[in-house]
Amino acid sequence: MSMSRRQFVKVFGLSAATLGALGVAGCSDGSSGSGSSAGSDGSKIQTIKDRGVLNCGVKADVIGYGYMDTATQEYEGLEIDLCYQIAAAVFEVSYEEAREQDLCAFTTVTPTTRGTLIDSGQLDIVAATYTITPEREEDWDFSTPYRTDSVGIMVKKANGWTSMEDLDGQTIGVSTGSTTQQLVTEMIADQGFSCTPNFVEYQSYPEIKDALDAGMVQAFAMDRSTLNTYMDDTVELLQPEVEFGTQDYGVATEKGCDLSKLVDDTVNELLDNGWMEEDIQTWLGESA
C-alpha cells in the first residue's frame, strides 16, 4: 500500500479524562514470570515510561494491518496506527505527538514468536492479527477485539476448482503456530464435505505463497486479510461464500499487568469515538 502513514486524517486523541482514569494497578503476584520487564514497583507502565518507548510486536507482511514499506523502510497499517494510539495513552500525549516523537519501537513477529517475546519481556504489546482464543487467554491478556476476520483458502485459478471437495488428497499450506489447520478441518466436518486434505506448516506467509506457486502445495489457508496480501491474477479464493473460522483480533500483553487495562481502555475508546472504524476504512476500505 503506497499510502503514507501520515496521510491518515485528523486523529482522535484519547481524552484527558480517560487518561486520568487509567490508574496504575500493578501486576498480579506471580503472574509476570521470570521474563517480566516490570519495574521494582510492579508497574509495567512505569517501566515503559522510564524506558521512553513502547516495544511493539507487529506484522511486516500483511497489507493494511502491519506492512513494511520497502521504499521507506517504515511500518504502516491499522495495527501500526493502533500501537501509536496505545503509546499516546501510556505517555499521556496526543496521537500525533506519539508519532512525531517515535514513541513506538517495532519488532516483526510471526505466529511462533508473538507470545514468546511477550514472555521474555522484549515486547510490551503485540498487535499482529493475533486471534483471541481461550487457550491463549490462559497465558496472555487480550484487549477487546478491534477487528473480526474469517479464514479463506487460496488456490490457483488454473486448477479450475469450484468446490472444497476438490481439496481431497491435496496439500494445504498453513502457518506454523496458527489455528488455521484446526479451523479448516472443523469447517470440512461442519459443512459435510467428504474431502481429506493434507497439511504442511511453514514459518512465514511468503514461504507458503512460494510453495503454492511452485506446486509444492495446492492451497494456501489463512485469515482472509492475510491472503489479500498475496492475491494476484493467478489465484482465487475457493468457495469464498463459505465463511468459517471467524476470529477476533486483540492486542496481547503480559498476563496480569497494569498495562493490560490501559490497552483495553484505549481500544474501547477508539471503538467508541469512531477512530477505529475510520482507520479500518482508510487501510482496508471496509467498515468495522
Q: Using the Cα atoms of residue 9, residue 74, residue 77 and residue 46 in order, give the sign of their dihedral.
A: negative
Q: Using alpha carbons, list the distances in angstroms from residue 280 to 271, 273, 277, 285.
A: 11, 13, 5, 7
**Residue with the larger pLDDT of the pair 53 and 8:** 53
Q: How confident is the model at residue 201 (pLDDT cuts 50, 70, 90)?
A: very high
pTM: 0.75
Element (H, E) at 249: strand 244-249
Those residues whose C-beta lies under 8 Å from the C-beta of residue 124, and which sit 6 or more positions away, are: 37, 44, 48, 54, 55, 56, 253, 254, 259
**What tens digit of pLDDT does each residue of 116-160 get?**
999 999 999 999 999 999 999 999 999 999 999 999 999 999 999
**Residue with the larger pLDDT of the pair 123 and 7:** 123
Give residue 111's pLDDT.
85
**Residue with the larger pLDDT of the pair 125 and 1:** 125
Judge whether 86 and 95 are in contact, CB under 8 Å.
no
- CA-to-CA distance for 229 and 62, rounded, in angstroms? 6
Give residue 257's pLDDT.
97
pLDDT exceeds cutoff 50 at 171: yes
- CA-to-CA distance for 169 and 188, rounded, in angstroms? 13
- CA-to-CA distance for 147 and 280, rounded, in angstroms? 9
Judge whether 205 and 229 are in contact, CB under 8 Å.
yes
